[in-house]
């Protein structure tokens, strides 16, 4: 911003921005990763310096000349300065409703992020209380209920209308605490999941650890992909796990290629996956939600582990603590619901048309062993379920015509 604005700022304003950038960089290097609080005085002071310098620059950049000489670049830089000012002001405030934390990337270095603890109040006040609203998605029910997602957007469970209860006439409300009646409607699916798909859970594998994907899980991946004749979408919790599984499958399985995210642009990988018979595609979060391949391309979806958020994620930690302070179960309300949503989205990659058939294989025994397992399973499509690997392989072989 300092470089882009140098043509319109005086030397003092430009130097103030550059000094603020240096101060922020130094403070980030001196601060460990994780949530920022009052104890991190040096970093908070540096952010305040950025705020003050950006406020001064935004004021000077906003003083436009005559209307006949409007300068688009100056307008763009002024907008950037205003955004930096507003963000830095919010970070420096360390408000209870926000979470501020330092992250780190091996190539890009350190960065500072601010995010709301919850968007429920904002959505309730600015959207839901002002207009009749329709929210639609294939994954609005978590654990078999609408209440979790309703709470995330600012609706209360006690405001839900019964099946036969008439909704009152909708009127704009200025009071965000006024009752907001809502209705949750499941309109069903055109897919017959119990006939079209199998959910296999590897109940006898070891629980996933921090050391990456295990040899027993790699062995099952090879067996399953071989039985399916390729045609596999592998959804992994980390880039390392996807690369390890792809390398192992290539060694053990001659024939159709195994593609791995990162080896080419995602659109190109998706095109090859759909166009080249028998090809498999392994990858991470981009594939959990961003790929749609109906037909025979995908007979098998493999999920290596339940996609819980990282336990050291500052935003997740803060939200779990807030839920616990409110008397709830922080793990179930935050981590488990996050995992349930991603599982539903990942498993949904299998059946994309009424003619699709196949298997979703989840290589994490916690889905059937852990106390939260039933909640996660209720969030998935109602596939026919089994923990029998031999039966699953037999079904895949029949589907691929190799039985």
Query: Mean pLDDT throughout 346-350?
Result: 93
Tell me which of 95, 128, 154 is where a domain ends.
95
Please indicate, yes or no, whether residues 146 and 41 belong to a single structural domain of this protein. no
Angle between helices 41-61 and 72-93 (to 10 degrees): 150
Query: Using CA atoms in the order 60, 65, 69, 72, what is the torsion angle rounded to 10 degrees?
Result: 20
* CATH for 354: 3.40.50.300
In this prediction, residue 164 has a pLDDT band, given cuts at 50, 70 and 90, of confident
Task: Report which DSSP code applies to 384.
Answer: E
Residue 289 reports pLDDT greater than 50: yes
Please return the burial class of 266, using the count of CB atoms within 10 Å of its CB with bins 0-12, 13-18 and 19+. Answer: middle
pLDDT tens digits, 247-273: 999 999 988 899 999 999 989 999 999
- The answer to whether position 100 is within a domain reads no
Residue 67 confidence (pLDDT): 47
Please give the backbone phi and psi of residue 56, each rounded to the nearest 5 degrees, phi first: -65, -45
Please indicate, yes or no, whether residues 356 and 377 belong to a single structural domain of this protein. yes
Please indicate, yes or no, whether residues 227 and 283 belong to a single structural domain of this protein. yes
Whole-model pTM: value is 0.84
Bridge partners (DSSP) listed for residue 303? 235, 362
User: What are the residues whose beta carbons fall under 8 Å from the beta carbon of 10, sequence distance 6 or more?
Assistant: 60
Cβ atoms 103, 33 nearer than 8 A: yes
Residue 64 confidence (pLDDT): 55
Please indicate, yes or no, whether residues 343 and 297 belong to a single structural domain of this protein. yes
Percent of the chain with pLDDT over 70: 96
Residue 320 reports pLDDT greater than 50: yes
Cβ atoms 5, 76 nearer than 8 A: no
In this prediction, residue 185 has a pLDDT band, given cuts at 50, 70 and 90, of very high
Residue 115 confidence (pLDDT): 95
Return the closest-CA partner of residue 382 out of 338, 348, 337, 332.
Answer: 348
pLDDT tens digits, 19-34: 999 999 999 999 999 9
Please indicate, yes or no, whether residues 215 and 174 belong to a single structural domain of this protein. no
Q: Pick the most confident of 37-41, 69-73, 292-296.
A: 37-41
HSE value, Cβ hemisphere, 13 Å, CA-based, for 47: 26
Distance separating alpha carbons of residues 27 and 36, to the nearest angstrom: 12
pLDDT tens digits, 199-250: 999 999 999 888 789 999 999 999 999 999 999 999 999 999 999 999 999 9
Q: Name residue, tokens 């992250």.
A: 103
Q: Name the domain count of the chain.
A: 3
199 φψ region: left (φ > 0), alpha (ψ -120 to 50), beta (else)? beta
- The answer to whether position 111 is within a domain reads no
- The answer to whether position 297 is within a domain reads yes
Q: What tokens does 225 get?
A: 């992909």
Please indicate, yes or no, whether residues 122 and 84 belong to a single structural domain of this protein. no
Residue 66 confidence (pLDDT): 46
Tell me which of 159, 184, 209 is where a domain ends.
184
Residue 69 confidence (pLDDT): 53
Q: What tokens does 362 get?
A: 């989840």
Please indicate, yes or no, whether residues 310 and 336 belong to a single structural domain of this protein. yes
- The answer to whether position 102 is within a domain reads no
pLDDT tens digits, 100-154: 999 998 788 899 999 999 999 999 999 998 888 999 988 888 888 999 999 999 9
In this prediction, residue 183 has a pLDDT band, given cuts at 50, 70 and 90, of very high
Query: Mean pLDDT throughout 309-338?
Result: 92
Residue 63 confidence (pLDDT): 72
Q: Which domain holds residue 145?
A: 117-184
Lowest mean pLDDT, pick from 59-68, 273-282, 350-359, 372-381: 59-68
Please indicate, yes or no, whether residues 291 and 226 belong to a single structural domain of this protein. yes
Give the start-end residues of each E strand in 23-179.
34-35, 98-105, 109-116
- The answer to whether position 273 is within a domain reads yes
Lowest mean pLDDT, pick from 162-166, 167-171, 177-181, 348-352: 167-171
Please indicate, yes or no, whether residues 71 and 177 belong to a single structural domain of this protein. no
Q: Name residue, tokens 């037999």.
A: 394
- The answer to whether position 103 is within a domain reads no
Mean pLDDT of the chain: 91
pLDDT tens digits, 94-105: 999 999 999 998
Please indicate, yes or no, whether residues 130 and 270 belong to a single structural domain of this protein. no
């Amino acid at each position: 911003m300092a470089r882009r604005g140098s043509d319109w700022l005086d030397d003092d304003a430009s130097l103030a921005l550059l000094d603020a950038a240096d101060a922020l960089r130094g403070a980030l290097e001196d601060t460990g990763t994780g949530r920022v609080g009052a104890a991190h005085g040096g970093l908070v002071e540096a952010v305040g310096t950025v705020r003050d310098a950006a406020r001064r620059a935004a004021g000077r950049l906003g003083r436009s000349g005559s209307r006949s000489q409007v300068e688009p670049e100056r307008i763009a830089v002024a907008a950037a300065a205003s955004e930096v000012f507003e963000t830095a002001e919010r970070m420096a405030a360390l408000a209870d409703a926000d979470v501020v934390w330092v992250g780190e990337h091996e190539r890009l270095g350190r960065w500072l992020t601010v995010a709301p603890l919850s968007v429920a109040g904002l959505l309730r006040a600015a959207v839901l209380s002002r207009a009749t609203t329709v929210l639609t998605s294939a994954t609005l029910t978590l654990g078999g209920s609408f209440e979790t997602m309703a709470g995330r957007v600012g609706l209360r469970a006690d405001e839900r209308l019964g099946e036969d209860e008439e909704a009152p006439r909708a009127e704009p409300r200025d009071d965000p605490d006024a009752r907001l009646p809502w209705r949750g409607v499941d309109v069903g699916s055109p897919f017959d999941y119990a006939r079209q798909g199998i959910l296999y859970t590897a109940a006898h594998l070891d629980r996933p650890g921090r050391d990456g994907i295990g040899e027993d899980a790699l062995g099952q991946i090879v067996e399953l992909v071989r039985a399916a004749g390729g045609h596999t979408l592998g959804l992994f919790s980390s880039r390392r796990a996807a690369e390890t599984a792809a390398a192992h499958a290539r060694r053990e399985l001659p024939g159709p290629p195994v593609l791995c995210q990162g080896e080419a642009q995602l659109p190109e990988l998706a095109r090859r996956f759909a166009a080249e018979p028998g090809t498999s595609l392994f990858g991470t979060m981009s594939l959990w939600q961003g790929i749609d391949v109906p037909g025979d391309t995908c007979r098998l979806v493999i999920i290596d582990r339940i996609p819980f958020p990282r336990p050291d994620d500052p935003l997740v930690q803060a939200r779990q603590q807030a839920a616990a302070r409110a008397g709830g179960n922080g793990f179930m309300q935050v981590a488990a619901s996050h995992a349930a949503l991603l599982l539903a989205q990942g498993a949904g990659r299998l059946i994309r048309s009424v003619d699709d058939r196949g298997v979703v294989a989840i290589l994490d025994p916690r889905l059937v062993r852990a106390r939260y397992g039933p909640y996660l399973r209720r969030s998935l499509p109602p596939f026919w379920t089994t923990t029998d690997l031999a039966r699953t392989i037999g079904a895949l072989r029949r589907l691929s015509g190799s039985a």
